[in-house]
Copies of this chain bind each other. A is one copy, B any other.
Amino acid sequence: MMTPQPDNWTLYGQTFQSRLLIGSALYPSPSVMSEAITASGSEIITVSLRRQSPSEAGGEGFWQQLKSLNKTFLPNTAGCHSVKEAVTLAQMSRELFETDWLKLEVVGDDYNLQPDPVATIAAAEQLIKLGFKVFPYCTDDLVICQRLRDVGCEVLMPWGSPIGTGRGLMNPYNLQTIRERIPELPLIVDAGIGKPSHAVQALELGYDGILLNTAIAQAGDPVMMAAAFRDAVAAGRQAARAGAMPERQTASPSTPTLGMPFWHQQ
């Protein structure tokens, strides 16, 4: 058996092994958060300026704890409802978290908390001109994804389903279409992942990674669930590389022939 090839991937020029990006909210306690993040194997953590400003009282300890994990931070603009708000918050985040990476979220509706496609494109365009490396959270819409690529996003993050629902991949057909039509960019399913099987399915479709928070933070045992997702992305990625058998309409015996060694069967 040969040593397996390293299977890294690259986001804005930085190389990673883990294909699981993880959030830092909603955990039962800071120590569970640290343990879960460690168990997940994630190398990238999303952080929210709105809640986690290093300079704020109370946030300082949390921030030190996050920093001690020695991961790459991906600040987000969660809770922004307009281009202007997102751009302002992004600039504050860059200064405070000392990174030009940015998960861009512009909420378009308070019911399903979905991204506003039009505002997200506009904000991405401005932010890229300002030197940000934008990770846009978007719906599973091919044309929106193409426009985000065209304004300079080098990674795209379509949703699986509305944030916090845990419904998994609502529309695998759309996600597959985006994968086929935008082969040149890394694609991450962001939001809606509720179980490890959803994560595996995303990777099997050829997605490069997933980003989640609630499914781990609100599991019965967040640390064990983090390990489950670590194994799930490993499984899904290997499956995509190995090439799955085709689905068949009718049954086919796995022991088809009598009296012949199996490697002579057709």
Contacts and interface: CB of A to CB of B under 8 A. Distances in A.
A228 B224 contact: no
Contact of A251 (B112, B171, B260): B112
Nearest to A222: B242
Interface in A191-221: 194-197, 200-201, 204, 213-215, 217-221
Interface stretch (A56-64, A91-99, A124-132): A56-64
B221 A241 contact: yes
- What class of interface size applies to chain A in its complex with B? 35 or more
Interface string A92-118: 000000000000000011011111111
A250 interface: yes
Given A262-B26, A262-B51, A219 B244 contact: yes
B163 A253 contact: yes
Contacts of A252: 113, 163-165, 214
B173 A236 contact: no
A229 B205 CA distance: 16
A204 B196 contact: yes
Contact of A225 (B79, B242, B256): B242
Interface of A: 1, 4, 23-30, 35, 38-39, 48, 50-52, 56, 58-59, 61-62, 76, 78-79, 108-109, 111-118, 121, 139, 141-144, 146-147, 161-167, 170-171, 173-174, 177, 180-181, 194-197, 200-201, 204, 213-215, 217-225, 227-232, 234-239, 241-263, 265
